[in-house]
């Protein structure tokens, strides 16, 4: 952890592993998809809260490369839900100065979802208050493998010399090369797992898991996690 990266007690880039939708629904005797539907409301609130409190980059883990193993009906529902959310949110994203971009593999995603994503990404690309990365069909290992493939292609084309590859150059080949390392990763639902999230960019991140289920996540939980982050950074700065 280099000191210069750690002098900010407020996280510039926040990543959230939005977990617990299924349990939220089960606790109410509802099908799991009802939890996902409720979770979308939390996404909407959290994007607005982050823009308001000054987070500059928000990465939301919405669908992992492992999530394809879920029942087809749930996967199909999540694809449709993402498409509907993005389509519906465009005016609010514009109003709040939010730039949306996909962070993930395009392969296997429905073309209608990609169309909506590309359109909203294009229309919001000048917004600079908050960058919202939708980690959808995202896997940290897939991202590193895809970066490696792109590096090999560039090397073959003569655009890159192997001996010059370093961590900085490598990071430009990750998804969304405009996105810096993540400062704080919050996981809801109480599990202490990374689940293949942001592996490369998480090298120096603070990780915090909270028992609250994603549909119940509120601004106070966001503030609590940011407080934990500030404490971790102060401890580090005092001790280093």
Catalytic positions, written as ranges: 19, 67
Q: What residues contact residue 220 under an 8 Å CB cut-off, 6+ apart?
A: none
Q: Which does 62 bind (CB under 5 to 8 A by kind): Mg ion, ligand IPE, none?
A: ligand IPE
Residue 62 in the binding site for ligand IPE (CB under 6 A) = yes
Residue 18 in the binding site for ligand IPE (CB under 6 A) = yes
Residue 23 in the binding site for ligand IPE (CB under 6 A) = yes
User: Could you report how far apart the first and last alpha carbons of the chain are, in Å?
Assistant: 10
Given 63, 175, 217, 229, the residue binding ligand IPE (CB under 6 A)? 63
Q: What residues contact residue 8 under an 8 Å CB cut-off, 6+ apart?
A: 183, 233
Least distance to ligand IPE, CB of residue 235, Å: 28
Q: How far apart are CA 42 and CA 38, in angstroms?
A: 7
Using DSSP, state whether 16 is helix, strand or coil: strand
Given 108, 125, 193, 234, the residue binding ligand IPE (CB under 6 A)? 193
Given 11, 13, 18, 19, the residue binding Mg ion (CB under 5 A)? 19
- Taking the CB of residue 87, how many other CB atoms lie within 10 A of it? 15
Residue placing its CB nearer to ligand IPE in the complex, 136 or 233: 136
CB 171 within 8 A of CB 41: no
DSSP 206: E
Least distance to Mg ion, CB of residue 134, Å: 18
- Applying CB under 5 A, the residues found at the interface with Mg ion are 19
- Applying CB under 6 A, the residues found at the interface with ligand IPE are 17-23, 61-64, 67, 78, 189, 191, 193, 195
């Amino acid at each position: 952890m280099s000191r210069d990266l750690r002098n900010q007690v407020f996280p510039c880039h926040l990543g959230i592993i939005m977990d617990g939708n299924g349990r939220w629904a089960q606790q109410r005797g509802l099908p799991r998809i009802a939890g996902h539907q409720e979770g979308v409301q939390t996404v909407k609130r959290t994007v607005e809260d982050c823009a308001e409190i000054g987070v500059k980059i928000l990465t939301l883990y919405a669908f992992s490369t492992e999530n394809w193993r879920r029942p087809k009906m749930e996967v199909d529902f999540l694809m449709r839900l993402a498409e509907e959310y993005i389509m519906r949110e465009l005016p609010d994203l514009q109003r709040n100065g939010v730039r949306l971009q996909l962070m993930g593999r395009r392969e296997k995603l429905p073309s209608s979802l990609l169309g909506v994503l590309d359109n909203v990404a294009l229309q919001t690309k000048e917004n600079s208050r908050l960058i919202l990365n939708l980690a959808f069909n995202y896997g940290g290992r897939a991202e590193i493998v895809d970066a490696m493939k792109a590096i090999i292609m560039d090397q073959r084309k003569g655009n890159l010399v192997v001996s010059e590859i370093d961590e900085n150059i490598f990071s430009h080949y990750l998804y969304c090369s405009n996105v810096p390392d993540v400062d704080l990763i919050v996981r809801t639902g109480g599990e202490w797992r990374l689940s293949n999230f942001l592996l490369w960019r998480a090298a120096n991140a603070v990780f915090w898991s909270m028992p609250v289920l994603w549909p119940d996540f509120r601004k106070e939980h966001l503030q609590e996690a940011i407080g934990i982050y500030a404490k971790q950074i102060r401890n580090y700065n005092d001790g280093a």
